[in-house]
Amino acid sequence: MIPLDPLPNLIDQVYARILEAIIDRTLPPGQRITQNELAEKLGVSRQPVSHALHLLHRQGLVAESGRRGFEVTELDPARIRQLYEVRGAIDALAARLAAGRVKNDTAGRAALEAALQAGRTIGEDTPLARLIALDVDFHSAIYRLAGNPAIEEMIAPQWPHMRRSMATVLAELDYRDSAWSEHEAIATQILAGDAKGAEAAALAHAQTAGRMTEERLKATSKAA
């Protein structure tokens, strides 16, 4: 049998640090990276960096580039649109289920209200990483309130890609406010127990975000 890796926690930390750098564009699309360079910057050996990069490669977040090198993959507009199509259906289901459970799930209701309140604090100076975290927290609160663990299990592998796509549109000041206005609309319907209204609001939000992201990525590609 192959011996177990003795450094799982360090690998997780390195993976998380590289992933955050990809999401917040410290490592932008197309950026070439090497194991030695990352190991030096993070103050670790090459072993955990190698493991982390191969995990990211498996997820399609980096691609092999030259000898022992990788580069951050570009965001594919068509692929992002496809992800949002699926997410729209899942978010609509989650919102409908959440609205049906909100009256009997005090903790879940409180978590959704807290996530919504946190989102109301954003401003022009709010860092992009914070905006993305707040967005994820809001949707995660709905998934948990829905009471169906399969929803979070299906979404989890796509969060890295979705977080990268969020950075594309949340970097624009105009959409920061409109995104949270849409969140307000979803939460209002859920908290009122209106299953159909919540379902419609969640689907509309995902469709808008998907369309804006695809358009923004195409525009960026043409400009380049």
Check residue 204 and give its pLDDT: 96
106 burial via Cβ count (<10 Å: 0-12, 13-18, 19+): exposed
Alpha-carbon gap, residue 135 to 122, rounded angstroms: 11
DSSP tag of 95: H
- In tens, the pLDDT along 100-148 reads 999 999 999 999 999 999 999 988 888 888 889 999 999 999 999 999 9
Please say whether the dihedral angle defined by the alpha carbons of residues 181, 217, 151 and 197, taken in this order, is positive or negative. Answer: positive
* The two structure tokens encoding residue 51: 């493991």
* Sequence-ordered strand ranges (E) for 21-89: 32-34, 62-64, 69-72
- In tens, the pLDDT along 80-102 reads 999 999 999 999 999 999 999 99
Q: Are strands 32-34 and 69-72 parallel, antiparallel or unpaired?
A: antiparallel
Alpha-carbon gap, residue 7 to 47, rounded angstroms: 9
Domains of the chain with CATH codes: 8-72 (1.10.10.10), 77-223 (1.20.120.530)
> What's this model's pTM, rounded to 2 decimal places?
0.87
